[in-house]
Chain A
């Protein structure tokens, strides 16, 4: 019944990728010049792909909703990027990076994909250095590393607390170079609103020019979605305001299956929510857990005094501090994976030990490392993060511990892709955070940048050739074809409908309401009853939205409320699918914590009997229930064990 073919090559794990590369089709340089590729998104995944494809000779059209590719949300990544270079001589290897990623993902990712990711990781660092990325260095001039959660080696490369920015500037430079040669045509401030299929194959997109409001059609021999994650379903997250799931959702509605939508990462170290006027949450990089110690008071009365503001953190004696991660997980301590650290913080706060006025915060304290290393060293490592913290909270973290709390951060789920990164629509690819491929139930820190760049620089440029080799006879795609007209009409109709509702409530009203439902029932802790309730509440929000949203202004002008309305409409639909996926997965794994599936100590309990699959949801129509296909996950190399970070 299931139509899914993951196309994982046969043979030993370590040889799969080289075998596969050796066998797939290649397009000749003369033919590449005749082929067009659309890349939607210019973050690390999209920019690296667009640049690499153009270097190979394809004609690329690149799209982003910001005014410049450099502003894609990859820019905000702080802590670093992993690679198994073993520069530290600490016994790191491709296998170890592969194993850590599979284990960190709680055995819900494909072995073949993850091994390939680890295999190409080293080349990413080489590439970035060649582009002029100013990675942190040791005095001897060699590259420096730091440690991230969930691993026992030091393999994270970084550029201060601005790693994503520097990597993106590198990829953006490569992209600019191709724009300057005319091989890439850039459409900034253009939002993709649908994809176009002809004879079942992806042949283009329909996008709205966000300045003029014009709905335009673009054709190509293949389309690549690199539009990032959908964490903003929750309204409050560490994502940028414009991050959205729109392109992925439109692809889903046209036949691309959506995989594991319930796998969302909640990051343990974010600045806590301050009030109901808040628009987004700010991450404090995981790298801080290298040098910061997490604690709450041991005594309830101390916590209560902190909550009332009667005492400060420095009033609490050393022996009255509960370093709960070090206590519960002695071998990994403060560097347990994100899902574990987040739940532990929630557990302490739910038990009444939270340290701020809302009771939803714990301390991240640098006092100990400042004593050990000196303030200068800490400043050199994290200066920009400390400044960011102080600007937001007005508290100086050199003198007082930071307050942190978990927040929505990353989406492991996304468009289902095969080993070639192709979706279930032929000719439609999905890369970076937009796809589901490599992180299973939980992503390890510093692995998203690695995956985005692996996909864009070293995987897609090869695998897309396999498909395009059969397209060399296909002439330029005619955007006047009826299929394009049809989709453009659908897009305009939807925009017209949104404008015509002329209800009473701004878009944000619905978005906040949706976010609250998602955080309460589809957030850090989930159960069947809550998920069913969420599905009902989401349906109510949907009805209310389409009856009462107010979109001011005109369609044929720059209209930020209209942009938001379209995105929130998609978030509402997506939320429903996330809740369904969470309900169907009756086990705890990674970031997905089902209260029905826990150990006696309250740790998440995976259930490999029922959970060894990647879900792949098929859209069946607006009024129909979606259908879940299952891709069974086969583990040929690693042995499945309950994760333990004790």
Chain B
């Protein structure tokens, strides 16, 4: 597609000084934005402008800007990661917007993800869920040769599908129950599908789900909204896999 210039865009942005302050929307305009500009570059331009005007720039989370680190986390026009499919916010480009459009930008919402400042949220709850067992319990050294246990191509590929989760939290932000089920199930099924992770699969599922409940994430009512907004195409089939591991756990109690 050919580059075009968007003459003017209006932005309604959530501003909140810190975790305890009360937030509110503020309105800004940016001008002459190329459609080849990424959404985050558009925010850079706005922030540059704000600093020049002696105002406080908008705080937003980002790092790799290529869709892999999972840092970026904006809720744009009512959609996690904005109006495009299978992408993170940093991969969104201005060609998805029309000249003169008003764009609403909010942080992830959900009790388990409190706002830190403006558009930045605290996703520590995800870390805590992983501490509860999101790993294979092996130390460095003393492991068998990489080819000692053959793993079928399909098994390995489906483990990879689940392992692609970037921990961004879009699934939670999208879910009306603020459930972390897609995130948890992605980790559980990544590891349960491999012989190395299988050993602890049942225990892992049980303790990660318990932690998730404890941290105030809601329950999963299978609406499937998470799957649609997940930038990495994590499928709710993972949730079914988790449920199987989890039922086994319950069964064995």
Contact = CB atoms under 8 A, between A and B. Distances in A.
Nearest to B122: A67
24 contacts: A55-B140, A66-B69, A67-B123, A127-B138, A130-B138, A131-B136, A131-B196, A134-B157, A135-B156, A169-B163, A173-B134, A275-B34, A275-B36, A277-B37, A282-B66, A283-B66, A387-B86, A391-B84, A394-B93, A508-B44, A508-B48, A552-B56, A558-B18, A558-B59
B206 interface: no
Contacts of A180: 131-132
Contacts of B95: 394
B219 to A, nearest CB: 24
B63 A73 contact: yes
Interface in A54-88: 55, 66-68, 70-71, 73, 75-76, 85, 87
Interface stretch (A138-146, A580-588, A631-639): A138-146
A137 B51 contact: no
Given A142-B147, A277-B34, A176 B135 contact: yes
Contact of A242 (B18, B45, B48, B63): B63
Interface of B: 1, 3, 17-18, 33-34, 36-38, 40-41, 44-45, 47-48, 50-52, 54-57, 59, 61-71, 84, 86-87, 91, 93, 95, 116-117, 120, 122-124, 126-127, 130-132, 134-141, 143-147, 149-153, 156-157, 159-160, 163-164, 166-167, 190-191, 194, 196-197
Contacts of B153: 137-139, 141
Query: Chain B interface secondary structure, helix, strand, loop or mixed?
Result: loop
B233 to A, nearest CB: 10
A165 B64 CA distance: 12
A241 interface: yes
A553 interface: yes
Given A51-B140, A278-B41, A457-B141, 5 more contacts: A52-B140, A142-B147, A173-B134, A188-B127, A391-B91
Nearest to A72: B69
Contacts of A143: 146-147
B163 to A, nearest CB: 5
A279 B44 contact: yes
A76 B93 contact: no
A126 B145 contact: yes
A130 B144 contact: yes
A292 to B, nearest CB: 19
Given A68-B123, A506-B48, A165 B68 contact: yes
A76 B88 CA distance: 14
A230 B144 CA distance: 36
Interface in A475-526: 504-506, 508-509
Contact of A553 (B56, B62, B163, B166): B56
Contacts of A128: 146
B8 to A, nearest CB: 16
B156 A130 contact: no
A174 B131 CA distance: 10
Contact of A131 (B1, B135, B149, B157): B135
A48 B65 CA distance: 24
Contacts of A457: 140-141
Contacts of B136: 130-132, 173
B127 to A, nearest CB: 6
Interface of A: 48, 51-52, 55, 66-68, 70-71, 73, 75-76, 85, 87, 122-123, 125-132, 134-143, 159-160, 162, 165-166, 169, 173-174, 176-177, 179-180, 186, 188, 211, 240-242, 274-275, 277-280, 282-283, 387-388, 391-392, 394, 457-458, 461, 504-506, 508-509, 550, 552-553, 557-558, 560-561
Nearest to A509: B48
B164 A162 contact: yes
Given A142-B147, A143-B146, A508-B44, A136 B59 contact: no
Contact of A141 (B54, B69, B152, B160): B152
Contact of B68 (A76, A134, A280, A550): A76
Contacts of A274: 3, 34, 36
Nearest to A189: B116
A241 B69 CA distance: 11
Nearest to B162: A134
B116 A394 contact: no
A52 B140 CA distance: 6
A384 B1 CA distance: 21
B144 A126 contact: yes
Contacts of B51: 506, 550, 552, 561
B122 A277 contact: no
Name the 5 nearest CB pairs between A and B, nearest first. A141-B150, A173-B135, A130-B143, A180-B131, A134-B160
B2 to A, nearest CB: 8
A160 B159 CA distance: 12
A37 B137 CA distance: 22
B151 A141 contact: yes
Contacts of A504: 52
B196 to A, nearest CB: 5
A128 B143 CA distance: 9
Contacts of A73: 63-64, 69
Contacts of B91: 388, 391-392
B149 to A, nearest CB: 8
A278 B151 CA distance: 43
A62 B19 CA distance: 25
Contact of A134 (B126, B132, B156): B156
A83 to B, nearest CB: 8
A137 B156 contact: yes
Contacts of B191: 132
Contacts of B140: 48, 51-52, 55, 127, 174, 457-458, 461
Contact of A160 (B134, B160, B166): B160
